[in-house]
Amino acid sequence: MTDSLFSCLIENPLQCTVVVNNVEHQVPAQLSVAGALLYLGHRQVRQHSVSGEARAPFCHMGVCFECLVTINKGQQQRACLQQVMPNMRIDTVTKELTQ
Amino acid sequence: MNKIYDYLIIGAGPAGMAGAIEASKAALSVLVLDQASSAGGQIYRNLGQTKPQQAFVLGNDYLAGRPLLAEFMAANCDYKPQAQVWHIETHEQGFIVSALINGESTTYVASHLLLAHGAMERPMAIPGWHKPGVMTAGAGQILLKSSGLLPKEVILAGSGPLLLLLAQQYRAGGVTIKALLDTTPKANYWRALPWLVAGLTTPKQLIKGLWLTLAQRIKVPYITGVSDLQITGEHSACGVRYTVAGTVHNIACEVIMLHQGLISETQMGQLLGCSQRWSDVKQCWHTQVGAAGQTSVAKIQVAGDAGAVGGGYVAQLQGRIAGLTRAHNAGKIQTRQSKVRLIWLKLRVKQLNWAQGLAERLYQPAKWLSKPSGCTIVCRCEQVSAATITSIASAGCAGVNQLKGFTRAGMGPCQGRQCGLNMGYLVANAQNRPMSKVQPLSVRPPLSPISLGQLAKGTDW
């Protein structure tokens, strides 16, 4: 995780607590899960299951499946289609997990 | 037994909302299934919850969707957000539509369908487009609409009205646009000229379009005639390299947004057997749609960008036409007033046709962009390169469906949406065939991934 390349233009947004890879963060409540990961400075959200290369959200509209993460320890799903929820557990995906 | 709806609409963008409004006004039972968490489609995404700062940046055209959204929310129809349609099959009473809602598969039965699921961005397979930091311009706009996020600095690259609109919105939001790299071929301007003249019939729209184009050229570092665009950086994007008039340039930036127009989503139409056609002007496959939204399959209509990319306003008109036509055919309304209205709506669509014609010609993708080569990834899901696809296509592979078997390209979770078109181009190039003779990837259920558990839980057979 590094400095975020994105900023939120909404002043004093309502905050929401999420747990990303076991670390607790406060993020604006209106963010999608993919948006939250970018906001928190995650440059990559998964490792590609074939090549192991880093991948990140690409289309943000549910077409490309590049933003697959696990939410609340469930199945992998598209982070762009889900809104953050209080105490949501978000885990980015590594190659080993996919296989 | 499930309730049988008179009209099941897929998509709650302008076309779907307008279709639902008209059909429900005529007392038809209507169900709208939409993938997003709130109605509006991509163009009016999150409009109901938008904050003042977002509204300022997004501009008046976005806010113009409010009356339609309000009318839809007040309409007497069933609406299911976050519903991912994964299968549609024909049935003696019409159609069975299966959708994943909250992780559970639910089936609905309807006598008639309206496909209003919109378009997607044309995949722009340049070297490095799969690296973190690269996203589509549509993605940039969605982040702004739904999350209020802006990149701190960005390079915009490609061609098309959405790229210009995003540039305008980013300027309003104070984003540093390091460059707008325009890949539009110069010859396109001449081809588009007659359609520009036709635009004089609706001067308001024409002036708005011209202003959007000119303002960005003046106010953004705007570079035309760009070719050989590629993403630099090893593990994630560090910038772009491109050529203008034979000279290579580099610009550093960690967020790069690509765009080269929209193409209609055809998967549902294909699955249902609606006849498809290749268009050399649009440079994509599309479902054949008549003036009232009718397709080659009885009881299935298509409206909005799902049929041909004409923008939000035209989509709304087409949605109304489809809904009214459905109501007329069902014998629910027969008044002269509604017939006149239907004629007026169709005329209005015809009148605005120039904009679509202009955009299709002016922003027709550059030839070099449809010829990915070397290690450029074509299929992102299965990590298949252009060189692999070309070598198999050159060896005489019958078409993209056989290519899929040989290379796994098109077999990943996106179901070929990101690679199908480029696979077609590579086969056409390697075998010297016109695109119209290279059949698109076949579509089979599920339209989006569904787990066996979800499948088993949701079935009532």
Q: Is residue B453 part of a domain?
A: no
Among B124, B147, B388, B417, most A C-beta atoms within 10 A, so best to mutate, is B147
**B233 and B203 in one domain?**
yes
Q: Does domain A15-94 have CATH number 3.40.50.300?
A: no
**B381 and B288 in one domain?**
no
**B135 and B92 in one domain?**
no
CATH number for the domain harbouring residue B229: 3.50.50.60
Q: Is residue B400 part of a domain?
A: yes
On whether any CB of chain B is under 8 Å from the CB of A1, the answer is no
Number of domains in chain B: 3
What ranges in B117-261 are assigned the alpha helix state H? 137-142, 161-172, 187-198, 203-219
Residue of B nearest to A77 (CA): B449
pLDDT string in tens for chain B (461-residue length) = 579 999 999 999 999 999 999 999 999 999 999 999 899 999 999 999 999 999 999 999 999 999 999 999 999 999 999 999 999 999 898 999 999 998 899 999 999 999 999 999 999 999 999 999 999 999 999 999 999 999 999 999 999 999 999 999 999 999 999 999 999 999 999 999 999 999 998 899 899 999 999 999 999 999 999 999 999 999 999 999 999 999 999 999 999 999 999 999 999 999 999 999 999 999 999 999 999 999 999 999 999 999 999 999 999 999 999 999 999 999 998 889 999 999 999 999 999 999 999 999 999 999 999 999 999 999 999 999 999 999 999 999 999 999 999 999 999 999 999 999 999 999 999 999 999 999 999 999 999 888 888 888 876 54
**B96 and B32 in one domain?**
yes
Cis peptide before B446 (omega within 30 of 0): yes
| pLDDT tops 70 at residue A82 | yes
Question: ipTM score here?
Answer: 0.95
Q: Is residue B449 part of a domain?
A: no
What gap in Å lies between CA B75 and CA B22, rounded to an integer? Answer: 9
Per-residue pLDDT reduced to its tens digit, B106-151:
999 999 999 999 999 999 999 999 999 999 999 999 999 999 999 9
Nearest 5°: CA angle at B265, between B263 and B267? Answer: 145
Residue of A nearest to B449 (CA): A77
**Among A9, A43, A51, beta carbon nearest to B53:** A9
**B249 and B269 in one domain?**
no
**Where along chain A do its domains lie?**
15-94
- In sequence order, what DSSP letters do the residues of B309-376 get, joined into one string? ---HHHHHHHHHHHHHHHHHHTTS---HHHHHHHHHHHHHHHHTHHHHHHHHHHTPPPGGGG---TT-
Q: Is residue B229 part of a domain?
A: yes
Q: Which pLDDT does position A1 carry in this prediction?
A: 60
**B178 and B289 in one domain?**
no
**Where among B260, B293, B320 does a domain terminate?**
B260
Per-residue pLDDT reduced to its tens digit, B5-50:
999 999 999 999 999 999 999 999 999 999 998 999 999 999 999 9
The number of CA neighbours under 13 Å toward the Cβ of B139 is 33
Q: What are the chain B neighbours of A43 within 8 Å (beta carbons)? A: 132-133, 236
Q: For residue B396, with 0-12 CB atoms within 10 Å meaning exposed, 13-18 middle and 19 or more buried, which class applies?
A: exposed
Residues 6+ apart with CB under 8 A from B344: none
**B394 and B284 in one domain?**
no
The predicted model scores a pTM of 0.95
- Which domain does B96 fall in, by range? 4-120+263-334
Q: Which pLDDT does position B150 carry in this prediction?
A: 97
CATH number for the domain harbouring residue B388: 1.10.10
Among B126, B149, B170, most A C-beta atoms within 10 A, so best to mutate, is B149
Per-residue pLDDT reduced to its tens digit, A1-56:
678 999 999 988 899 999 999 999 999 999 999 999 999 999 999 999 888 999 99
Q: What is the DSSP letter of B306?
A: G
**B140 and B128 in one domain?**
yes
**B297 and B189 in one domain?**
no
